[in-house]
Homo-oligomer: A and B are copies of this chain.
Amino acid sequence: MGQMRGKASLAFERPPVILSSGSVAGSKEGQGPLGPFFDRVETDDRMGEDSWELAESAMQRQAARIALKKAGLFPADVRYAFAGDLLGQLIATSFGNLDLAVPLFGLYGACSTMGEAMGLGAMTVAGGFGDRVLAMASSHFATAEKQFRFPLAYGNQRPLSATWTVTGCGAVVIGAGTEPAADRGNGCGVRLPSTCGLARIAGITTGRLVDVGARDSMNMGAAMAPAAFHTIEQNLEDFGVDESWYDRIVTGDLGEVGSRILLDLMREKGRDLSGIHMDCGVEIYDKEKQDTHAGGSGCGCSAVTLCAQILPRLQDGTWRRVLFVPTGALLSTVSFNEGQTIPSIAHGVVLEHID
């Protein structure tokens, strides 16, 4: 049991490797700073489908196919898919994964889902339960607005603390890295040495529910910041390191407001994250030009930023070690309308450059 660290972390003795990634983003995300780095940008956010939900499903299907193709794999080469989205009963995942026909674990961690999927995927590979798995998460502005807020045509005003749900899906293929991959060509010959991966998953820190009594669904950054704080602190404690161990600590979708709260909470603990912290929700849109208020959110936010920005910098060695912490606000319209609080959760993934 040498892989357990502290209360909530694992350090993998044989770290799984992210073999490839696939990102599909919507039109607004394509116009943002990360636009050139997505594998695919949709100009039609409906993607020719009959509904927004089917469009989100199509994004999952495409992101998975792109990630598989880049690794030179067919769906049958993947043992499991770990996938989720924000919608009630995970319909984007259910319809998006039908064609893949891969054994599926459906996950819900709100916008932390990519961290949850990568954590379970890495455990699966590290435990010898699968040579390769898919981990992915999606969100769509139009499906999320319909699910959680107001009809699009209503054009409601949004406070400055509100975030904009990212339209997109990010998928990664996680593998053991050092063993034979499919012999259909992957740019590295028939075998896939670990140096072909984008990054190593050195460990994970699994979040627990944190509820600070937040009730404002238009300020989810404030609800999620304490969960991010808890998971980051737990990670540092479990691994016996301080924040300088990481080149970047990247949260999922705290946005401007939540990021400030996280930095304040960290400062109270004597940690200065100002030069290290980055938030996918802040990165994905151009604050000045795109009118997205506090930034981006949604499962897709951290998932596509991982694929478009974080993994490339880990691969080229700009960053050597990153703590990736997708954050989720666990509310539904039912719990919100019943006056409940918004519990949150954040799942950490330790990503390392492969030398």
Q: Tell me the complex Cα distance, A206–B79, Å.
A: 10
Contact A116 B105 (CB under 8 A): yes
Most buried by B among A98, A127, A207: A127
Q: Is A178 an interface residue (CB 8 A)?
A: no
Contact B206 A334 (CB under 8 A): no
Q: Which of A63-121 contact B (CB under 8 A)?
A: 79-80, 84, 86-91, 94-95, 97-98, 101-110, 116, 119-120
Q: A54-B340, A87-B334, A104-B207 are in contact. List 17 more A-B contacts (CB 8 A).
A: A51-B338, A53-B340, A80-B206, A89-B108, A89-B335, A90-B330, A91-B331, A91-B332, A91-B340, A98-B211, A103-B208, A104-B206, A104-B208, A106-B107, A126-B129, A127-B128, A147-B334
The interface stretch among A2-10, A28-36, A165-173 is A2-10
Q: Which of B3, B119, B127, B332 contacts A126 (CB 8 A)?
A: B127
A96: nearest chain-B partner, CB-CB: B209
Chain B residues with CB under 8 A of A123: 123-124, 127, 129
Write the A309-345 contact mask toward B (1 if CB under 8 angstroms, else 0): 0000000000000000000001111110010100101
Q: Is A50 an interface residue (CB 8 A)?
A: yes
CB within 8 Å of B: which residues of A? 1-4, 7-8, 10, 50-51, 53-54, 79-80, 84, 86-91, 94-95, 97-98, 101-110, 116, 119-120, 123-124, 126-131, 146-147, 206-209, 211, 330-335, 338, 340, 343, 345
Contact B206 A87 (CB under 8 A): no
Q: Which 10 A-B pairs have the closest CB atoms?
A: A127-B127, A88-B88, A103-B206, A89-B332, A94-B330, A106-B108, A91-B335, A8-B103, A88-B332, A1-B128
Contact A53 B335 (CB under 8 A): yes
